[in-house]
Structure 1
Amino acid sequence: MSVGILVVSHSAAVAQGTVDIAAQMAGDVRLVAAGGTEDGGIGTSFEAITAGIEDLATTDAVVVLCDLGSAYLTTDTALDFLDEDLRDRVHVSDAPLVEGTVAAAVAAQTGGDVAAVLAAAATAGGSATGGATDGTDVAEGGGASRPEQPGGPAPLADTGAADGTVASGTAELVNASGLHARPAAEFVKAAARHDAVVRVNGVDAKSLLAIMALALPQGATVTIEASGTDAQDAVDELVGLVRSGFGE
């Protein structure tokens, strides 16, 4: 499934800057900025939002992230005027704009469906549900995805119990800037290629924001643990990635 992402901000510079950041970590994902008014002022534009959604219409689903309350209102108005087929494929997240966009983009880059992309964005706001509050199921589209309950990421399923396969390994972080955004994104994309449940220093290795929150500096020990059918392959790849310095 292909998921496009629309960034709606009161500022054209903020919208475009957010897209630029996310694109550094998710180069294959369609990202569109809809910021500011038609005359270049501060505000939101019904026309720009509509054009952005239509630009992403060739994707299977569209996730919209907004900066402030009135941006949601303008987006909701734009949704009302879309064809039903396209409207049903648009999902609005209430995740923080920059962090949510980056997390959503990385999830889309790894091939996640719209539910996975929304869930990744939701981790930026401290919610794991990614569900709609208007009674609309995420999979149905056409509704806001605004979690009601705060909380941490959803507990990881333990697949190791099914086949007894458990693996672990350690490596020293060699990157001068530590595990910052770009290598963290590479780590997540590598982890997502495996079916195993993978943890890095105790957090979900498939969650960009969880890894970045570790704030691991150069010289830190990275401990990777995995359980599931391809646990050893996952550990071997990720240990190798850390030791290589992520190509930096």
Structure 2
Amino acid sequence: MLGIILVSHSRKITDGLKEMITEMTGTEQMIFSAGGTGDGRIGTSAPLIMESIETCKNCERILLFCDMGSSILSAETAIELLDDELKEKCHIIDGPLVEGAFVASVHSLLTEDLDSILHEVSQCK
């Protein structure tokens, strides 16, 4: 199973994106909204991201889609705090948050091949 973590400075963005992806793809993947700060403000939170990653510990791969700047830094920090086994499953994806996460979710229903999924995401740029 694939885990997808949506990271944005806005919880509303990641909640809406999660809703859209789940509506279109069903529940084949574990998708988590890790936007905003833990107290609901605009920003990012490494602990919130780390919590989402740990919830995906049974997934074969965990893809993190970030919007910009500090969301990437927060995702990197969260990954650094994980144990080595879980760290190896995590991939911060270089692609657009909305289109990339959607395409990865849809394509992962067709294949579990990470290179194939990443290729499809790269076409979104």
The two structures have a TM-score, normalised by structure 2, of 0.94
Taking the aligned partners of 1:60 and 1:116, their CA distance within structure 2 comes to 15
Q: Give the ranges of 4+ consecutive aligned residues of structure 1 lying more than 4 Å apart after TM superposition.
A: none
Q: Answer with 73-82 or 20-29: which moved more.
A: 20-29
Q: Please give the secondary structure, in 2, of the residue aligned with 1:20.
A: helix
Which residue is equivalent to 2:115?
115
Q: Which residue of 1 aligns with 2:84?
A: 84
- Equivalent-residue separation in structure 2 for 1:115 and 1:4 (angstroms): 16
Runs (5+) with no aligned partner, structure 1: 126-248
Once the two structures are TM-superposed, the CA of residue 47 in structure 1 deviates from its matched residue by 1.0
Give the unaligned 5+ runs of structure 2.
none
The structure showing larger relative contact order (alpha-carbon pairs under 8 Å, at least 6 residues apart) is 2
- 1:45-194 to structure 2, matched below 5 A, reads 45-125=45-125
Of Structure 1 and Structure 2, which has the larger fraction of its residues in helix? 2
Larger Rg: 1
Query: Partners in 2 of 1:57 and 1:38 — Cα distance?
Result: 21
RMSD over aligned Cα atoms = 1.1
String of CA shifts for 1:137-189, please: whole Å, max 9, x gaps. Answer: xxxxxxxxxxxxxxxxxxxxxxxxxxxxxxxxxxxxxxxxxxxxxxxxxxxxx
**How far apart are residue 52 of structure 1 and its match?**
0.8
Structure 2 partner of 1:11: 10
Q: How many residue pairs align between the two structures?
A: 124
Q: Distance in 1 between matches of 2:48 and 2:110?
A: 28
After TM superposition, the score normalised by the length of structure 1 is 0.48
| Aligned-residue identity in percent | 35
Distance (Å, rounded) in 2 between the aligned partners of 1:107 and 1:100 = 10
Q: How far off is 1:112 after superposition?
A: 2.6
